[in-house]
Structure 1
Amino acid sequence: MKPIIVLFAFFLFAFLGNAQENQVKIGDQLIIGEPAGTLYQSINVPRKNFIIKKGGIPNMSTLKNSVVTVTKISHSDNPTITFKKSNGRKFFKAYRSLTAELNGAIDSGEMTVYHHQKKGTPIN
Structure 2
Amino acid sequence: MEYKILVKEALEAQKYAYAPYSHFPVGAAVLTKSGRIYRGCNIECASYGGTNCAERTAIFKAVSEGERDIEAIAVVGAADEYTFPCGICRQVIVEYGKDIKLIIGKTEEDYKVFTIEELLPNSFSPEDLER
Superposition TM-score, scaled by structure 2 size: 0.21
Superposition TM-score, scaled by structure 1 size: 0.22
Query: Relative CO higher for 1 or 2, CA cutoff 8 Å, sep ≥ 6?
Result: 1
